[in-house]
Amino acid sequence: MRHLTYSIVKSFHRIGILLGISLLTNLGINFPARSAERVQVSFDILERTISVNSLEAYAKRGIVQTDLAPYIKYIKPQQQEQLRRILLKRLEVRPIAVTQFFNTPQAEILLRRLGQVIQTESGEYGAQAIQQALISSANDPEGITLLNVLRKFPASGVRIDLAKGLQLADDLSKLIEQSNKAIAAVNQQATTLVANQSPVQISTLANLRQPGSYTVNKQTKQFLDSRRNRSLKADIYVPIPDDNNQRRTALPVVVISHGLGSDRKTYAYLAQHLASFGLAVAVLEHPGSNAQQLQNLFEGKAEEVAQPDEFINRPLDVKFLLNELEVLSRSDIFYWGRLNTQKVGIIGQSFGAYTSLALAGAEINFPSLQKDCAGINTSWNLSLLLQCRALTLPKDNYQLRDERVKAVIAINPIGSSVFGKNGLNNINIPVTIVAGTADTVAPALPEQIVPFTWLNNPNKYLLIMNNGTHFSTLVESQSSVPLPVSVIGPNPALAQDYMKVLSLAFFKFYIAEQPEYQAYLTPSYIKYLSQEPLPLSLVRSLTEAELKLALERPSPETVISPNKRNQTSPNNY
């Protein structure tokens, strides 16, 4: 049954709901006590009805009642077990409610999409009823399960439009198929490069996973940008030589920009590591899109996850910070002569990766954004929920590039639509894009692999982290929204080690201009570094024509990573 209609269209578009529910808050709204008694499945002119009680008896006790029996016999035993798991799988999120999230534009889009498939018994658009069912389920001891959402549906019946559900499942199937082909092509190219490359003498290379020799001084600074009335905090990590009498050297500066809903502690591990090797690091916190902004949403003090002007304010935050660091290096006795703000590298993750690419020269492309956002209701690319908010910005020619920035690393970037091909073409400095094949927020194919083909700069790298998620490289802080282990993915400590090695080698080579680090930026070394369950592939070139050819090839049964692991699967979405 079309893989159980792609696992019941991934249990009501599971990832989208989970992303939203993580932001919910309960304002004590009461809804009618009426709840659904039956599920009506329609396909064109055909309609069949199954009681919710029958689904519950089957899911919880394996009992097949009369109204369910005619359909169960057409489902394979393995799929029957899968159906029971789907009905009872609980979203492990705190039941602290939902109302504020459902006031955001992102929720409106998700509900609009779900409402096309899940309708009231009379066939009316089901978005409002879904919203009420989710609120009721979140506050019920059983929690948010597909079965409980059906039970809490505020009508006597739920109507499932199977034709539209199958269309959504087909769209997802095509995305997975295309993603698998693209990932397979990158993995194969990396394998070929390793085979044809002179082997790296690993024994001569230092272990960059271990801390460096510098003592690190960390200070937290608060700055006020009076022009924008914006207060910024930054943790500044400065390497101190063992010999205090050693002449001070102006060190290259790396700025780290966190993702949506995170804070400056998310990449503290990376800042500490880079500084221990002699790079000055500033970890900035963006006040309009950090963990506190989500808390404000919870408390009803904010209307959105992030205001659209964050697309402008985030790069301006970094520019302002660099200006302040330059002042410190001239006026503060501790920082005097220690910071070279003319040699800057940026690391960003997700929304922070957008920030890094904007500072590298990528320009907002409103025509591209308008075109892509017209199809947002049928897209499985959840990052468009954020990117499309940029359409509400004034249509100015924003110049966000900073000439002091000499190289950037973009981890799980969003930007395929907000920049588009023409916007990314403007980057002419070294750039590394990191993609996770299990990233369901910013999927690897549309958000990292395709944009990589648009870069004209010869000094570019694409690192594929097979089985990596959108959250693999993050360390959760106390103030950030907690995520289930299944969303974070396998072995985040390994992913964090990868980032230590890659970012250190990249910035040592490109902004500190130390040529001995180039050996770490090769497919051969990356193969050596690679481990299960997150095997790596590195390529430096992939053209649009090569990607097009890969996507047109017959589908492989499985996508083979360098370590022979499956990559994207329906369970990733």
Distance, in Å, from the CA atom of 143 to the CA atom of 151, rounded to the nearest integer, reads: 11
pLDDT-derived band of residue 15, with 50, 70 and 90 as boundaries? very low
pLDDT for the residue 438? 93
pLDDT for the residue 321? 98
The CATH fold of domain 208-552: Rossmann fold (3.40.50)
Q: What is the mean pLDDT of residues 200-219?
A: 93
Q: What is the mean pLDDT of residues 75-99?
A: 73
Q: Considering only residues 165 and 354, tell me which one the structure prediction assigns the higher pLDDT.
A: 354
Strand runs labelled E in 247-366: 251-257, 280-285, 339-349
Q: Which two tokens stand for residue 321?
A: 């910070």
Q: What is the mean pLDDT of residues 326-338?
A: 94
Is the confidence at residue 33, as pLDDT, over 50? Answer: no
- Cα 289 to Cα 101, 222, 417, 523, distances in angstroms: 15, 17, 20, 35
Is the confidence at residue 523, as pLDDT, over 90? Answer: yes
Which of 419, 413, 316 has its CA nearest to residue 366? 419
Q: What is the mean pLDDT of residues 36-44?
A: 76
How are beta strands 230-240 and 251-257 bridged, if at all? unpaired
CB 348 within 8 Å of CB 413: yes
Q: What is the mean pLDDT of residues 394-412?
A: 97
pLDDT tens column, 411-451 = 999 999 999 999 999 999 999 999 999 998 999 999 999 99
pLDDT for the residue 306? 85
pLDDT-derived band of residue 479, with 50, 70 and 90 as boundaries? low
pLDDT for the residue 98? 52
pLDDT for the residue 501? 99
Q: Which two tokens stand for residue 425?
A: 């073409």
Is the confidence at residue 457, as pLDDT, over 50? Answer: yes
Distance, in Å, from the CA atom of 569 to the CA atom of 42, rounded to the nearest integer, reads: 27
pLDDT for the residue 21? 31
pLDDT-derived band of residue 49, with 50, 70 and 90 as boundaries? confident
User: b/e for 259-288, b at 16 or more Cβ within 10 A?
Assistant: bbbbbbbbbbbbbbbbbbbbbbbbbbbbeb
Is the confidence at residue 29, as pLDDT, over 60? Answer: no
Q: What is the mean pLDDT of residues 525-540?
A: 97
Find which of 3-12, 229-238, 374-383 is predicted with most confidence, using mean pLDDT: 229-238
Straight-line distance from the first to the last Cα atom of the chain, in angstroms, rounded to the nearest whole number: 18
Which of 12, 27, 18, 19 has its CA nearest to residue 98? 27
Distance, in Å, from the CA atom of 249 to the CA atom of 63, rounded to the nearest integer, reads: 74
Is the confidence at residue 254, as pLDDT, over 50? Answer: yes
Q: What is the mean pLDDT of residues 523-532?
A: 96
pLDDT-derived band of residue 93, with 50, 70 and 90 as boundaries? low
Average pLDDT, the chain: 85
Which residues are registered as beta bridge partners of 118?
160
Q: What is the mean pLDDT of residues 184-201?
A: 90
The residue written with tokens 């090769």 in the block is 522
Is the confidence at residue 567, as pLDDT, over 60? Answer: no
- CA angle 314-468-3, nearest 5°? 115
Percentage of the chain beyond pLDDT 90 is 56
Is the confidence at residue 100, as pLDDT, over 60? Answer: no
CB 168 within 8 Å of CB 133: no
Q: Considering only residues 204 and 408, tell me which one the structure prediction assigns the higher pLDDT.
A: 408
Locate the domains of the chain by residue range: 208-552
Determine how many CB atoms are found less than 10 A away from the CB of residue 465.
28
pLDDT for the residue 75? 79
Is the confidence at residue 573, as pLDDT, over 90? Answer: no
pLDDT for the residue 570? 42
Distance, in Å, from the CA atom of 137 to the CA atom of 149, rounded to the nearest integer, reads: 6
Q: Considering only residues 456 and 197, tell me which one the structure prediction assigns the higher pLDDT.
A: 456
Is the confidence at residue 31, as pLDDT, over 60? Answer: no
Is the confidence at residue 467, as pLDDT, over 90? Answer: yes
Long-range contacts of 70-74 (CB under 8 A, 24+ apart): 74/1
Contacts of 88 (CB under 8 A, 6+ apart): 59, 60, 145, 146, 147
Percentage of the chain beyond pLDDT 70 is 84
pLDDT for the residue 26? 28
pLDDT for the residue 562? 55
